[in-house]
Each structure stands twice: as C-alpha cells, then as structure tokens.
Amino acid sequence: MNEFTKRILSGLVYLTVLTFSILYSKISFLSLFFIVMLFCLYEFMKIIDLKSVFPYLIAILSYVFGNILNVEDVPSRTIFEYVGVILFLTIFCSFAWILLAKKEEIVSHLGKIFLSIIYIVVPFVLMAQIPFLNNDFKYASTTILGVFILIWSSDTFAYLIGKNFGKTKLLKRISPNKTVEGFAGGMIACLITSYILAQYFTDFTTIQWIVIALLVSIFGVFGDLIESMFKRQAGIKDSSNLIPGHGGFLDRFDSVIFAAPFIFIYLQIV
C-alpha cells in the first residue's frame, strides 16, 4: 500500500469515526474527545520533553468534572468556573509534584506543566461544552459537527489555493508552506460553507455561523502555526505517527484546539 492510499484510507476512517461519534450520542461524543485529548496531551508532552503524570491527572479530573453536568442534562456553568477549577488543580498539583520529587530546574518544569494544561486540556474542556451552549442546554450534535466542517473546509481550500496560487509567504520562519493566498482562500471557503450550514443547521442564525466561520479561519491558522512552531523547535515533522499518512492527533486537531476557546466565549456572549 503506497503512502497516498494509506493517507486516503486513514483519513476516511478518521472522518467516519469522528462524525459517527458526534452524531450518535452525547456520551459517544464526550468519550471520543476525552480519548483524543489524552492522545494530544501525550504527543505534546513528548514534543516539549515533559515527563510527568500530573498533566494526565489534571486532564482527567478537569474533563470528567467539567462534563458531569452535561451528562445529567443540567445547565452548564460559566467559562470562569471551568478555567478557575482547572488552573487551581494545575497550580496545586504542580507545586505538590515539585516539592515531593525535588525536581531541579523548577521554573522550567513548572512552566511545561502549565503550558500542557493551558494548550491542550483547557481547549478540550471548553470544546466539549460547545454542543450544549443553546437555550435548552441540550446536546446539539450539529453545532460541533458544523465547527469541524468549517475547519475541514478552511484547511482543504487553504491547501489547494496555497499550493496552486500561493506566492506570498504567511510566516516563512515558522511554516514556509503557508501563504497569504492560501489563508484568504481558506477563509472565503469557510465563509461560504458557513452560509450553507446555516440553511440546514438551524441551531444558530446565519450571522452566528458566519462569525463562527471567521473565528475558525483566523484562530485555526494561529493554532496550526503555533503547533508548527513547537514541532520546529523540537526538530520533528509530525506530532506522532498514530494516524497513518496524517501524523498524530495533535496534527489533526491543532486548528480546532486554538479556535475552540474563542468559539466558546462567543457562544457564551450570544
């Protein structure tokens, strides 16, 4: 099996599992994203060379307790409560670990723990809230599926436009393959897709979907560039090889990880 065929097949499996888990039930959605969060955390900790069990413990506690109310169909809490609990757990566990383990280079070690929580765990906890941010606080699968469709639309057309028409580098020192033309093409495709989504996914208005598309296209690129920066410093191409032909889970979720908190804040406001 050549690399192209492997990439197509693994991509189809990825899309099928993700779409099925989102549409089947809130439990399958929350379960899948819990597993993906742990894989992304594992890959990121390898990239920054962090060996610690506490980010996993904090991730598990934050995700489980952050979603207990959603499982029981109780109205969700505010962003400040979620982030506050996660930060408190991070601070407490990090200092406890350093004191008990007598770690050298305390500031560096503590900084990596904070970074792994803020960069991976917080976005996934907030991402899991997005389908429940509606008037009834009920699970709306089309909300989170729509976000991923926008991500896929933006990434696909950014790649196609950039490859065929891209000339102006977006940020050459971080990601030499990304171009301004590709970014613009991805944003336009994302906006068009948001208008189409609004005709079928009616939980949000057309304007709301357009705003979400803007957040996805802008902050999704930031997320991609930030992960590229970490990988460049680590001297690696992919976060792992867990998804054949596509790299790792972090490579597939880097855009939505960075965009999700901004989408969450926007939906809390509206």
pLDDT score at 33: 95
Beta bridge partners of 169: 179
- Residue 216: count other Cβ atoms within 10 Å of its Cβ: 34
More confident residue, 100 or 175: 175
Model pLDDT for residues 205-229, shown as the tens digit of each residue: 999 999 999 999 999 998 888 888 8
Q: At 207, list the tokens.
A: 């304007």
Give one DSSP letter per residue of 98-138, joined into a string: HHHHT-SSHHHHHHHHHHHIIIIIHHHHHHTTGGG-STT--
Q: What is the pTM of this model?
A: 0.87
Taking the C-alpha atoms of residue 197 and residue 7, their distance in angstroms, rounded to an integer, is: 27
More confident residue, 18 or 9: 18
CA distances from 259 to 96, 141, 226, 256 (A): 32, 18, 12, 5
DSSP one-letter code for 162:
H
Across the chain, which distance is largest between two alpha carbons, in Å?
A: 58
Work out the pLDDT band at 83, boundaries 50, 70, 90. Answer: low
Element (H, E) at 83: helix 79-101
Work out the pLDDT band at 154, boundaries 50, 70, 90. Answer: very high
Average pLDDT over every residue of 137-159: 91
Give the least confident one: 2-6, 166-170, 174-178, 223-227. Answer: 2-6
Model pLDDT for residues 95-117, shown as the tens digit of each residue: 666 666 555 556 677 788 888 98
